[in-house]
Chains A and B, each alone.
Chain A
């Protein structure tokens, strides 16, 4: 079985993002970029599946500008076998991404797609569900455990009330949550090896997909700032402030 893993290039999760002065977006120039942390978990899970004999090839795909090839190289350095880069604007929407991925699935015919449950930049949490819809496949979302059982998979989902167990038919789209695994670091020899792994590049137009945005971002602004408060000396003062000043207890 082949496993497809879409990986997104986003601002590194440690970076404090800054809104552009003209309120058109956030500052991306000279900002450290990295693979979306949830997608790292997706790559890791695909690799573990391959290492346990449950998959024979892991293909990483990334959609965005040329720099997204770096993100694919990261996946290859972790252990993915080959990469596919689809040239598109950085701001592409989840629906368009899902449509492009559907075309990739049609060409590659994977048995499973592992993808992060959300990207930490736009926080949309849509792509996996949309891809599953377009393919008419089952979806296991926010997954913290998975066991492949031939033509079905047992998944454990992190839901608001706790955990939910589902049995989903394969092929399927599985969106991964934080607790599924801890992604490995790429070793230096593997980073070197990754440079020689195959990486195909194509454009959205090659796949015949209309990626024109459906939403217009009219303004991006800083959230209202919270004013720093005061330090209290001890628990007694804290309780007094909460009772008599803030009046919340």
Chain B
């Protein structure tokens, strides 16, 4: 799972507004792609269709040749368990600790507690948050909260990772670190699709970029380098410098 194709996808709302208009585009398994465009360009709707939080008015959203718009309700949980989702505002559960937040998808999947502990710590290690398992989200900085959200998204080792403006509230240095994390996840074969309007950062990274405007794809810029090259060129920033943004 990880090969995605949108065929002539249109999403029109009841008020007549078309968030997406006849979009046809494909994503290779294990690819990393940025969706860019101004607010209202259709980026979030695009991701919602992939999450099956919404269905197209017309067209097909194929994931490994299965039209997910036609998935029965009872098969949706299984499909979503193969996705990782990161939002700009994290959507962390404030009454639960960092550990419990990250463990949530694994508990939902019915994993044993012992294995959950191992996977959660591994995931928190990937985002440099080991040692903060017992804290509540309110005790963390914005950057740390975002990294908890990422840890939760990747803890199940998803085939597809979707991110909606994951660096929207972060400073450039922290944004670069978060993008670096996504590139590293992509390196292990995860298909990554990130909606972002941070053109400067996206262009600097040189990955594939789909440009949306008024619900249409107006540009499809091929990658100028692979994530392996990117990861090789960059060093992991010192996390002590990254977690302090409030």
The answer to whether A and B interact is no
Residues of chain B having any CB pair with chain A under 8 Å: none
Residues of chain A having any CB pair with chain B under 8 Å: none
